[in-house]
């Protein structure tokens, strides 16, 4: 969830770079498999749909399309909730901890 919030205000690569060390230490402390969490972090970081700032393509269409931040929020929020639901179901199925 933190990765999802970070990727809305910084690039997805930056969000992943910040979250991987934290995830690694959490999984080592809990004794769980790290792969599923790393996959989830990577996928969540690619779901920047709520703001135009987090992803380059959003910024490219923001100005020429005369979009507002609220346009991104209105469409992106529902899309991101849907993607989160899919991730919550599929990541543990394919990469169990």
CA dist., res. 3 & res. 77, Å (int): 15
Q: Give the whole-angstrom CA distance, residue 10 versus residue 46.
A: 11
pLDDT digits (tens, 9 = 90+) for 44-55: 998 888 988 878
Which class for 49: exposed (0-12), middle (13-18), buried (19 or more C-beta within 10 A)?
Answer: buried
pLDDT digits (tens, 9 = 90+) for 65-84: 999 999 999 999 999 999 99
Q: How far is CA 20 from the centre of its chain?
A: 13
Residue-range definition of the domain harbouring residue 69: 2-94
Number of CB atoms found within 10 A of residue 50's CB: 23
| Banded model confidence at residue 59, pLDDT cuts 50, 70, 90 | confident
| Element (DSSP H or E) covering residue 45 | helix 35-45
Q: How many domains does the chain have?
A: 1
């Amino acid at each position: 969830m933190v990765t999802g919030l970070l990727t809305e205000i910084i690039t997805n690569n930056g969000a992943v770079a910040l979250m991987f060390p934290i995830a690694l230490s959490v999984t080592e402390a809990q004794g769980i498999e790290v792969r599923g969490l790393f996959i989830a972090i990577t996928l969540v970081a690619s779901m920047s749909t709520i703001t135009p700032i987090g992803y380059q393509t959003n910024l490219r269409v923001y100005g020429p399309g005369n979009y507002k931040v609220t346009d991104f929020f209105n469409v992106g929020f529902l899309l991101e909730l849907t993607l989160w639901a899919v991730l919550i179901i599929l990541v543990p199925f394919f990469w169990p901890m």
